[in-house]
Structure 1
Amino acid sequence: MMMGKRFLALGLTVAMTGSLLAGCGSAGTESSAGASAGSSESGRSGNENAKVELELFSTKTENADILQQMIDGFMEKNPDIKITLTSESDAATVLKTRLTKNDVPELIAMGGDSNYTELQSAGVLLDLSGEDFISEVQSAYLEMLYDVNVDKEQKAYGVPYATNASGVLYNEDLFAQAGVEVPQTWSEFQDVVIKLQEAGITPFELTFADSWTCLPPWNSMAPVIPAENFTDERKEGKTAFTGTHEEVLEKYLWLLDYAQDDFMGTTYTDGNAAFANGAAAMMINGNWAISEFLNTNPDMNVNMFAFPSVDEADRNTVTSGVDVLLAVSNQGDEAQQEAAKEFIRYALTPEVAQSYIDDQFAFSAVNGVEQKNETVSGVSKDIANGKVSNFPDHYYPNGFDLSAILQQFALNKVDGMDDTENITETLQSCDEQYDAANVE
């Protein structure tokens, strides 16, 4: 059984994401350690005489450079171990293909979502529950991991490493120019959007040419608007998207009216660059995009706030989950497994964990490692106070391609389909495709 909306009493010290699914960020262009800008040569050719060789397979292209730096630092301290980084844009497909060929990488850095569940349920991941380094991880994020294990098994087949925040990214300078402040409710949000437009500022930059970026608005509203136990009951066949998610899609359609004209043709890469250069005031996405903005415009004043889904401010939450976990394949030999665990132990040290979240504008699952960057200060307090909901799509069955459904939903809007008809058709598609994928 999958859990529903969760207001986690995280007790976090603020410490941050497609992913294979869009809640967690995935650049739309292919990258690898061998070609990634900034990757060090030692990461590709160092420790040539090593006794143990590992592959670290990452599902996020945005973190390739910092992972390479971590690998280089580890190999310098461990000359008998060589680690090669693989970072793929179509990571889910690549990993599934390799799973069918019994070619599972020795180390995997991935999101805590249904793709992790698939590997965990396939029995190819090493149980790390008994390792001493597990005590370095915040218990709240271990609980998130347990929740996506098959049958909610209380074992750590991965180590939560970095966590994220999804909501509304905004240009502080454009907000000041229009004389608007961060909204706390849906009505206030609507007022901000209209005032921005009246000031001649495009409210939203959307990047729907990459289907995964259609998910963040849904992932913000779906944990708040429907019943709290929806994901549990949907898995059990006790409820449906039809009859419960109409308000989510009504508000989604409203947002589309205030995006740039070509949002269906704008890629994540191009939209990030445009947003960084002031083309729009807001982008609905996650902290994983901030590094992309600042690479384009280091002087950009960007921050985040929780998506205000409803008019009851206390109900609105930051969408946050395990953006990166580190898992070890049980298919490697004993020496490879021990070397992989040594890398995780190294990654969990405060200095290394801090370097990762500083680079990625992320939060950390490691005890005592805090994110202090001003670019995410707008959501830090909510996260510290546990005003958080996990990504709902982490609990949908693998094979349920919600991002494609929502991309078609947005295209229907552009093509002039009646809103009521569009909502009805989209929720029917959700139910049909969910049921087809919801098999044990």
Structure 2
Amino acid sequence: MMLVKRIRVIGILLALALLASACVAAPAAETGQDMAADEAMDSGDSGALTGKLTLNPGSYYPSESMEWSETNPNPHNMILTLIDEYQALHPGVEIELVQPPPGDVSSREYIVTNMTAGTIPHVVYTLTRDQVEEIGKNWWVNLDSYLEQPNHYVEAGQPGSERWLDLFYEVPFQANRILGSHYTLNYSIVTSMMFYNKDIFEEVGVEVPTTLAELLDVFQALQDAGYTPYGGIGSWFMYETLGQLGGSIMAELTPQVNPDGGPANFEEVACAIDRGVFRAETPEYREWMRLMKEVAKYRTQDWTDKNANAITKWLQGDIVVVEDGSWRVKQNKLNPNIEFEWGMFYAPKCTQESSPVCTGTPAPPIGGAPGGFAITKSAIEDGLVDLAADFLMYLSAPQNAERLINDLGNVLPLQKGATPADPDLISILENLQDHEGEAAMWTYYDKTNLESRLEIWDLKNAYILDQLTLDDAVAQIDEIKTMYASDFISDNEVDCSALGFE
């Protein structure tokens, strides 16, 4: 049954030729989106709202069918129900869905192209890290003033009913501020972990590892038994699980990088790089690189291909351990073709058995709220900021967020009062909702901009493949890191001394 025929889809052509001009920012208005948000707030009478709102809901865009198949592993369509309900509450409102870009177009590429062309929808689902470089262009509405208002779709007396901000788990939500403000309504929590074949573990006689030394021993035993031990989705595995490994290895530096504790923000990471604390030349970083190389020995041979996907091989039993995210849980349970028992475990900690710089500090769990709904400059231009904010209030109310998130089934609710439908995800949420985890993990790759991140990934891969010596890789990584930090601090007028950096 084709569900997308119910949607009047706006066809947005991705004029990639415009990317070359995207780096030229339009002159900024004096107070930009901050002023637009303040002026757009109404007296709370949302019943009078009218207008036509365009929405790119990202992964929440409905699947073409609600029937499971290998090409449709995650059927979902709840966004249609919620839009219908909202329009029934507000007869003067029409919400038109915009289809997300194809998978080979990055979210940042989509945003830059359509912002520049003037074709960006009023509301888009985006990653906070993709907004960092664009804050000065007045592309995004600052949501702070809205978040201080009551969310009238939340039951009276419940978190968020008096102040919208109180609806969200504080640590993961606050971690996504940019220069102290919210430009994305971060909507859900994602996490990554190791999925393993229990049958093969039992056959080979190995158990779930808790330390890096144990992990390497398990991988060696699996390899000796003729199995490919480890795989993931492309080469990013190095920067998820091994990003957590970096959090364990470099834990001693945390007080210097994140002086005030809590979530580490973009400003602190830039200052730590600028002041020489977070550099690749440090003993901790060099050990992190060395240990990445040790783990990579057990990886699938095609791991350097960013498009390689080991999931299919894992599902067929050809790979024993695979790294993937919380979305894998639902997909595994729906898949009738899995012929083995499977389980999950988090990245292990680094102890002195693996390196003298390691302290045994647990690896922070990957789990944060990296993406959400953002209101764009199109809403400002069309006078629809108030409507867009009200619709986001509706989507985030626990009774609605729970339905939308559980329908998708691959993320966890960030809203208090919303519960995962899958009991296996409840314990994961409890582990993440009040844990600093990824938010405080300043070694995690999303604490810098996209360009520097990609360049550093390539240098790490080149070192692991013996195309660069460790010294050469470290020197080039530090050159990229310091250039990024200098530009970020200058462009955003960051005062590192005020943040506690000497």
Shorter-chain TM-score: what band?
0.7 to 0.9
Is residue 272 from structure 1 mapped to residue 311 from structure 2 by the alignment? yes
* Residues 133 and 449 in structure 2, CA contact (< 8 A), matched pair in contact too: no
* Residues 138 and 367 in structure 1, CA contact (< 8 A), matched pair in contact too: yes
Is residue 198 from structure 1 mapped to residue 224 from structure 2 by the alignment? yes
Q: C-alpha offsets along residues 34-70 of structure 1, whole Å, 9 cap, x if unaligned?
A: xxx9753213369xxx973333335x55876489724
Q: Distance in 2 between matches of 1:422 and 1:38?
A: 54
Equivalent position of 1:166 in the other structure: 192
Tell me which amino acid in the other structure corresponds to 1:137. Answer: F
Residues 293 and 328 of structure 1, relative CA distance in 2, 3 Å threshold: same
Equivalent position of 1:337 in the other structure: 385
Residues 197 and 297 of structure 1, relative CA distance in 2, 3 Å threshold: farther
Q: Distance in 2 between matches of 1:423 and 1:64?
A: 46
Q: Distance in 2 between matches of 1:57 and 1:251?
A: 41
Q: Distance in 2 between matches of 1:432 and 1:295?
A: 46
Equivalent position of 1:234 in the other structure: 272
Equivalent position of 2:476 in the other structure: 429
Equivalent position of 1:91 in the other structure: 107
Offset at residue 318 of structure 1 (A): 0.5
Equivalent position of 2:147 in the other structure: 129
Equivalent position of 2:173 in the other structure: 142
Alignment gaps of 5+ in structure 1: 1-36
Q: Distance in 2 between matches of 1:310 and 1:377?
A: 27
* Residues 56 and 123 in structure 2, CA contact (< 8 A), matched pair in contact too: yes
Is residue 189 from structure 1 mapped to residue 197 from structure 2 by the alignment? no
Alignment gaps of 5+ in structure 2: 11-48, 64-73, 152-163, 258-268, 352-358, 492-502
* Residues 107 and 126 in structure 2, CA contact (< 8 A), matched pair in contact too: no
* Residues 397 and 434 in structure 1, CA contact (< 8 A), matched pair in contact too: no
Q: How many pairs align? A: 386
Selected match of 2:123 from 97, 107, 110: 107
Alignment root-mean-square deviation, CA: 3.4
Offset at residue 326 of structure 1 (A): 1.5
Offset at residue 348 of structure 1 (A): 1.5
Q: Distance in 1 between matches of 2:387 and 2:60?
A: 25
Residues 41 and 307 of structure 1, relative CA distance in 2, 3 Å threshold: same
Residues 382 and 176 of structure 1, relative CA distance in 2, 3 Å threshold: farther
Question: Partner of 2:451: helix, strand, or coil?
Answer: coil
Q: C-alpha offsets along residues 106-156 of structure 1, whole Å, 9 cap, x if unaligned?
A: 11212232x13234443332223234232322222332122xx12xx2x33
Is residue 395 from structure 1 mapped to residue 447 from structure 2 by the alignment? yes
Equivalent position of 1:347 in the other structure: 395
Residues 376 and 129 of structure 1, relative CA distance in 2, 3 Å threshold: closer
Selected match of 1:81 from 94, 103, 123: 94
Offset at residue 354 of structure 1 (A): 2.3
Equivalent position of 2:285 in the other structure: 245
Q: Is 74-83 or 369-378 further displaced after alignment? A: 369-378
* Residues 137 and 159 in structure 1, CA contact (< 8 A), matched pair in contact too: no
Q: Is 359-368 or 102-111 further displaced after alignment? A: 102-111
Question: Partner of 1:410: helix, strand, or coil?
Answer: helix
Q: C-alpha offsets along residues 225-271 of structure 1, whole Å, 9 cap, x if unaligned?
A: 22214435434333322224111111111111111233334734x42
Q: Distance in 2 between matches of 1:387 and 1:301?
A: 31
RCO (CA 8 Å, sep 6+): is it higher in 1 or 2?
1
Q: C-alpha offsets along residues 253-300 of structure 1, whole Å, 9 cap, x if unaligned?
A: 1111111233334734x4222222222121234224445556665646
Q: Distance in 1 between matches of 2:183 and 2:383?
A: 18
Question: Partner of 1:315: helix, strand, or coil?
Answer: coil
Quote the sequence identity (%). 14
Is residue 259 from structure 1 mapped to residue 299 from structure 2 by the alignment? yes
Q: Distance in 2 between matches of 1:355 and 1:103?
A: 30
Q: Distance in 2 between matches of 1:171 and 1:62?
A: 30
Offset at residue 212 of structure 1 (A): 4.2
Question: Partner of 1:167: helix, strand, or coil?
Answer: strand
Is residue 52 from structure 1 mapped to residue 91 from structure 2 by the alignment? no
* Residues 328 and 337 in structure 1, CA contact (< 8 A), matched pair in contact too: yes
* Residues 53 and 83 in structure 1, CA contact (< 8 A), matched pair in contact too: yes
Residues 290 and 250 of structure 1, relative CA distance in 2, 3 Å threshold: farther
Equivalent position of 2:132 in the other structure: 117
Equivalent position of 2:344 in the other structure: 304
Q: Distance in 1 between matches of 2:125 and 2:222?
A: 39
Tell me which amino acid in the other structure corresponds to 1:305. Answer: F
Larger CA Rg, structure 1 vs 2 = 2
Equivalent position of 1:315 in the other structure: 362
* TM-score of the aligned structures, taking structure 1 as reference length: 0.76
Tell me which amino acid in the other structure corresponds to 2:276. Answer: K
* Residues 238 and 292 in structure 2, CA contact (< 8 A), matched pair in contact too: no
Q: C-alpha offsets along residues 5-61 of structure 1, whole Å, 9 cap, x if unaligned?
A: xxxxxxxxxxxxxxxxxxxxxxxxxxxxxxxx9753213369xxx973333335x55
Residues 317 and 141 of structure 1, relative CA distance in 2, 3 Å threshold: closer
Q: Distance in 2 between matches of 1:344 and 1:382?
A: 26
* TM-score of the aligned structures, taking structure 2 as reference length: 0.67
* Residues 64 and 87 in structure 1, CA contact (< 8 A), matched pair in contact too: no
